[in-house]
Amino acid sequence: MKNQKSFRMQLPLQVFALVGMIYLLIFNIIPMFGIVMAFKDYDISMGISGIFTSKWVGMKYFKEFFASPNFAQLVRNTVGISIYKLIFTFPIPILFAITINEMRNIICKKVVQTASYLPHFISWVIIGGIATQFLSSRGVINTFLVNTGLTKDPIGFLTDPNLFWGFAVVSDIWKEMGWWAIIFSAAIVGISPDLYEAAEIDGASRLQRIWHITLPGIRETTVVVLILALGNLFGGGLSGSNFDQSFLLGNTMNQSASEIIQSYTFRVGLSQGRYAYATAVGIVQSIISLILIFSSNTISKHISGLGIF
């Protein structure tokens, strides 16, 4: 009876799993072989078979990318925006979750919390539109600043390259803070109330209780979420918003700060049809990403003793 291990016995369950395997084979594994394009003199006119029959060109496209005037800027933007997001967007949901947890009025708590999730469900397309209404030269904020005399000229929030990184980080926080606070809130709720009571009897102040009970209580969750964020560092961390922001909030005026490797791949590859070159660029991003993940992991192990692998 306990012959559950045989493939035939498990056939229906195997079919469920195999549906997934076939899907992944077609849409994930096969494209992985496409990266040979990066080393070949491939053109879209050659069709699919051209990927294999076209001439090998070695590192030609990599050299071209490294030598291109865009290279330094693209790497700077990709790495810069990602690290900024890791530093600033990561801790804010934790602080917000603690704030929410300290609210004693249940209705207030519920209302603020529910509202804070909303932007998570809204696409960057819409947020770009809202940003235009608020931040353009004639938008609400600039009108306010100019009318009250706080600034003489409108601030180019959407056009000034110097402000793009800040704009990207702040809009990301606005959009995702409430959402990622859910995880931390749940972790806080899981902390035993006895600890708080005991601390209160021992005379610990509220801040001390937050510092000595709440924060250590969510340590594990924090590490797990950090792992998630690091795993998608160049995608934009937790929210994975780098590409959307670059594409939807970037424009010709702030391009020097907003264009990242991902959006460059799209622009050169799909708009200009330079498939082989764009594939090579994509590989460079994956390699930088791997290096960063491994080095941050090593640093984390040294400092906190906790690492991903």
Residue 130 binding another protein, by CB under 8 A: yes
Residue 28 binding another protein, by CB under 8 A: yes
Nearer to another protein, 125 or 291 (CB): 125
Q: Is residue 70 within 8 Å of 264, Cβ to Cβ? A: yes
Nearer to another protein, 50 or 80 (CB): 50
* Helix, strand or coil, per DSSP, at residue 222: helix
Residue 216 binding another protein, by CB under 8 A: no
The single-letter code of the amino acid at 96 is: F
DSSP code per residue over 81-136: HHHHHHHHTTHHHHHHHHHHHH---HHHHHHHHHHHHGGGGS-HHHHHHHHHHHHS
Q: How far apart are CA 166 and CA 240, in angstroms?
A: 16
Nearer to another protein, 218 or 302 (CB): 218
Residue 138 binding another protein, by CB under 8 A: yes
Q: Which of residues 227-286 bind another protein (CB under 8 A)?
A: 228, 231, 243-244, 247-248, 251, 265-266, 269-270, 275, 278-279, 282-283, 286
SS (H, E, C) 127-181: HHHHHHHHHCCCCHHHHHHHHCCCCCCCCCCCCCHHHHHHHHHHHHHHHHHHHHH
Q: How far apart are CA 280 and CA 30, in angstroms?
A: 17
Least separation in angstroms between residue 42's CB and another protein is 9
Nearer to another protein, 165 or 264 (CB): 264
Residue from 45, 48, 149, 309 that binds another protein (CB under 8 A)? 48
Phi-psi region of 58 (alpha: psi -120 to 50; beta: other; left: phi over 0): left
Q: Is residue 60 within 8 Å of 67, Cβ to Cβ? A: no
Q: Which of residues 169-208 bind another protein (CB under 8 A)?
A: 174, 177-179, 182-183, 186-187, 197, 200-201, 205-207
Residue from 26, 59, 72, 87 that binds another protein (CB under 8 A)? 26
Residue 128 binding another protein, by CB under 8 A: yes
Residue from 96, 165, 167, 234 that binds another protein (CB under 8 A)? 96
Residue 139 binding another protein, by CB under 8 A: yes
Nearer to another protein, 57 or 112 (CB): 112
The single-letter code of the amino acid at 107 is: I
The single-letter code of the amino acid at 126 is: I
Residue 45 binding another protein, by CB under 8 A: no
Determine the interface stretch with another protein among 54-62, 72-80, 82-90, 98-106 (rule: CB under 8 A).
98-106
Residue from 13, 72, 87, 291 that binds another protein (CB under 8 A)? 13
Residue 57 binding another protein, by CB under 8 A: no
User: What is the residue whose two structure tokens read 């491939």?
Assistant: 42
Residue from 37, 74, 86, 213 that binds another protein (CB under 8 A)? 37
Q: Which of residues 105-124 bind another protein (CB under 8 A)?
A: 108, 111-112, 114-119, 121-123
Q: What is the largest CA-CA distance in the chain?
A: 83
Q: Compute the Cα dihedral for 128, 129, 133, 138 and give only its sign.
A: positive
